[in-house]
Each structure stands twice: as C-alpha cells, then as structure tokens.
C-alpha cells in the first residue's frame, strides 16, 4: 500500500530530515586544512552528551560491537578476571566477547526481565579482598527485554568496597535518550552506537573513556591495531583520524548533536519517559504484561510485550509488517516467540507512537490475541492527554 512504513524497532531509529540532509553531501577531503575546525567542536559537544569533562569520546567506523572490543583490548589482558551479569541477549553477547578474547568471566545469571544485580555485585566486590576482579561489566538498557538498570548503584558498590575495578557500560540503546552521567557515576568505558538515540544510520560507534581507563593502555597487552586508543588520541588531538573517517556520518552526527543540544538533554530524557509511559499504559489497556518484572526495571527506550500463553509473538511481527507495513522488534534468544518489542527512542512523538500502537493492536487481533479494539490506543491517548508535558516534567 502507498505511504510510509513504520519503523518501531529499538534501533535503527527514524532519521530526522535535518540529519538526512546533512548525510547526503558530496564526498570531501578528510584531510582538508579546515577539518579540525569542524571536528574539535564536535568532540567537545559529544563530551557534553556523555557528561564528562575529563574523559575522551572516540568515534570508530563500526557498530557498537567494535567499541566493545576497543574498550576491552585497550584496558585489559588475557586471563584477567571480570564480573558480569547475564539478563538478556546483549548482556550475554558482551560476556561472550569477553570469553572469546581470553578473559576469565565470572557470570551472575539473572532472570530475564530483571537488570543489573547491584546487591550481588556489591557482595562479590566486598569478598574480593585481593582485587582479582579487574572490571565490572554492566548494560544500562537491555534492549532484548526492555530493562533499564541502576549504573549509579554499581559505582556506589565499587566505592563502598574500595574496589579499583574498571566500570564498563553498554549504553547503546540508552546514551542520548535516558539519563547518563559518565563522570558523576564513575563509568570508565561507555559504549554507544549511531543508530539509536543519536538518530543516524548504523555504522558509527561512540566510546567514552575516563582518564583511569586511558591510563590502562600501557599495561594492556592485548593485540590491537584498528581500535588502538593511542593512534586515535594522537590524531584526534589535532582534529583528524588515523585512517579515512566516514565523513558523511560525521556530518550527520554534527546535525544530530545540534538537534539534541537545541532540545536539551534533560528535555530529551523527560520526553522519552513521557512517551514510554504512554506505551506502558497501552500494554496495560490491552491486559498484557511487559517483560520487565518490576517498575524499577522499566526501560524508557523500548518495551518488550509478552504475548499470552499459546500465542507466538513472531506471528504478530509478521502480520504487522506484511499487512500494515509496521516493523516491530522480535524477541531474542530466551524470549524468542514470547515477546515483541516496540522501540520508542530517538526522533519520536505521540503522533508517531499512536499509529504504531493502533497497528500493533490490529495485528494482535488478526492473529487471534484477544485484545479489545481500541483499548491500548485509548489508554495511551488518555495518558498523554492528561500527563504533564515533557518540558514541565524536565523542570521538576
């Protein structure tokens, strides 16, 4: 059917028109004399988004997975003991990478639908009197289950144990969308990707590194070349890169960061909470459950919706796409077929989400899930109609 298709997976997200125009430019010289005039302010503004004054934000032409690898290889050594929790597909994949790269990973398995087990981490860190644990791995927003975790609490646990371990954080589906304070929370390595809250196509990894993390380079003996911090530090200091950068993506990033600065980070965080709350109201209106087990785990960037027993979420996803042109996120691994996901991050408002909720409702009814017509849309609409607007929420 003519018309636009709806993209409501939790990444890639919708690309604003201003960003699309910025990306669609003729090829240019990445070693031009005025390159530094463009890049230095961009590096400075990225530090504002990561909320760090002393750290450095690296830009790698890769997905977020490349930044994961860079974070590990520039700070750790084969055989190092690291602590991590597994409570979703992406926390699992980071553990898998650590193991493949020769780290000894102590894994705390948690129920999917819960998040970072701060208390268990705290107890384990206190037990580690010899400080064998070299790093703690966390995922601020587990995209597979729609769970948001308390990273500040992990920093408190490290400090309470007087533990020197590095704090790693996957912020791929959170940075630029929900509250994140790299310096205040003492996060040493924070990973993100261009295709989520930064509202760009996939292909650019963003990695924030603290001074503590940067100081680990001299003792980190893992082999690295493309992802070596040393090369990036030397060339970024002059506004350039050690290899050919994707200039069209950097132009798009500049436009995206401008939009974010214009809206204001606190307003962005409030808008995401406001929109997510409306989606959760819709799920309640349908009489369904979300994967996140408690309100404290609710994600403001993606909601994973559990289909009733005897139904297959994959049928909802297929029907929504094939009949109505709506893309929903699939359940992954443990929750495959059990949940479908609605992404609500990036360039988004009530109008856009109301269309997604309406079509989701139709698709569920088409495949036999007994939700009442109009129930979810009405619940979300009433929430957004009566709730305080995001700007007012941000001011509180």
Give the number of domains in the chain: 2
**What range defines the domain where residue 310 resides?**
264-395
- 177: Cβ contacts below 8 Å, ≥ 6 apart: 196, 197, 268, 269, 272, 300, 301, 345, 346
Q: Do 153 and 51 sit in the same domain of this protein?
A: yes
Beta bridge partners of 339: 306
pLDDT value for 396 = 62
Select from 214, 203, 207 the least CA-distant residue to 245: 203
pLDDT value for 52 = 98
What are the 10-residue block averages of pLDDT along the chain, 396 residues in total? 90 96 94 96 98 98 96 98 97 96 98 98 98 98 97 98 98 98 98 98 97 96 96 97 96 98 97 98 98 98 98 98 97 95 97 98 98 98 90 60
CATH number at residue 352: 3.90.1150.10
Q: Do 177 and 286 sit in the same domain of this protein?
A: no
C-alpha to C-alpha distance for 70 and 58, rounded to whole angstroms: 10
Q: Do 248 and 346 sit in the same domain of this protein?
A: no
Q: Which of 231, 246, 262 is the last residue of a domain?
A: 262
pLDDT value for 1 = 75
- Structural domain contains residue 54: yes
For residue 309, report the phi and psi dihedrals to the nearest 5 degrees: -50, 135
Q: Do 334 and 215 sit in the same domain of this protein?
A: no
Q: Which of 237, 262, 287 is the last residue of a domain?
A: 262
Q: Which of 227, 262, 297 is the last residue of a domain?
A: 262
C-alpha to C-alpha distance for 58 and 312, rounded to whole angstroms: 41
- Interstrand relation of 133-139 and 81-86 (parallel, antiparallel or unpaired): parallel
C-alpha to C-alpha distance for 148 and 296, rounded to whole angstroms: 8
Element (H, E) at 380: helix 375-386
- pTM here? 0.96
C-alpha to C-alpha distance for 258 and 314, rounded to whole angstroms: 38
Q: Do 278 and 371 sit in the same domain of this protein?
A: yes
- Structural domain contains residue 102: yes
**DSSP type of residue 92:** H
Q: Do 273 and 226 sit in the same domain of this protein?
A: no
Q: Do 223 and 268 sit in the same domain of this protein?
A: no
C-alpha to C-alpha distance for 329 and 89, rounded to whole angstroms: 13
- Is the link from the previous residue into 12 a cis peptide, with omega within 30 of 0? yes
Give the pair of three-digit tokens for residue 320. Answer: 């929504």
Q: Do 235 and 137 sit in the same domain of this protein?
A: yes
pLDDT value for 394 = 58
Q: Which parts of 141-258 are beta strand (E)?
A: 141-142, 147-148, 166-170, 189-193, 205-209
pLDDT value for 115 = 97
CATH number at residue 228: 3.40.640.10
């Amino acid at each position: 059917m003519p018309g636009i298709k709806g993209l409501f997976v939790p990444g890639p997200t919708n690309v604003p028109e201003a960003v699309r125009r910025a990306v669609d430019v003729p090829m240019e010289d990445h070693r031009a004399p005025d390159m530094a005039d463009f890049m230095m302010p961009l590096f400075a503004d990225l530090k504002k988004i990561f909320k760090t004054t002393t750290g450095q934000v690296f830009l790698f032409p890769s997905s977020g997975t490349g930044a994961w690898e860079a974070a590990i290889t520039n700070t750790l050594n084969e055989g190092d003991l690291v602590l991590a929790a597994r409570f979703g597909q992406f926390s699992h994949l980071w553990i898998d990478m650590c193991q493949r790269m020769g780290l000894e990973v102590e894994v705390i398995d948690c129920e999917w639908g819960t998040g970072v087990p701060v208390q268990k981490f705290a107890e384990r860190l206190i037990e580690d009197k010899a400080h064998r644990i070299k790093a703690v791995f966390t995922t601020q927003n587990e995209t597979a289950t729609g769970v948001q975790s308390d990273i500040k609490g992990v920093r408190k646990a490290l400090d309470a144990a007087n533990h020197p371990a590095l704090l790693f954080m996957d912020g791929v589906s959170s940075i630029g969308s929900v509250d994140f304070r790299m310096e205040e929370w003492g996060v040493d390595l924070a990973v993100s990707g261009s295709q989520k809250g930064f509202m760009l196509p996939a292909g650019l990894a963003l990695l924030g590194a603290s001074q503590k993390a940067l100081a680990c380079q001299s003792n980190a003996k893992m082999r690295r070349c493309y992802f070596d911090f040393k090369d990036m530090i030397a060339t970024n200091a002059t506004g350039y890169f050690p290899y050919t950068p994707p200039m069209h993506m950097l132009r798009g990033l500049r436009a995206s960061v401008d939009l974010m600065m214009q809206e204001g980070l606190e307003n962005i965080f409030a808008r995401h909470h406001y929109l997510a709350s409306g989606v959760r109201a819709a799920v309640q209106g349908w009489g369904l459950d979300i994967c996140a087990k408690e309100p404290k785990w609710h994600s403001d960037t993606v909601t994973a919706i559990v289909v009733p027993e005897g139904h297959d979420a994959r049928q909802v996803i297929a029907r929504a796409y094939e009949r109505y042109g709506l893309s929903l996120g699939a359940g992954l691994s443990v929750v495959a077929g059990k949940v479908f996901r609605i992404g609500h991050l990036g360039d988004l408002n009530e109008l856009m989400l109301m269309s997604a909720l309406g079509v989701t409702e139709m698709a569920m009814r088409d495949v036999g899930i007994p939700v009442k017509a109009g129930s979810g849309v009405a619940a979300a609409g009433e929430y957004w109609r009566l709730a305080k607007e995001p700007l007012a929420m941000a001011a509180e």
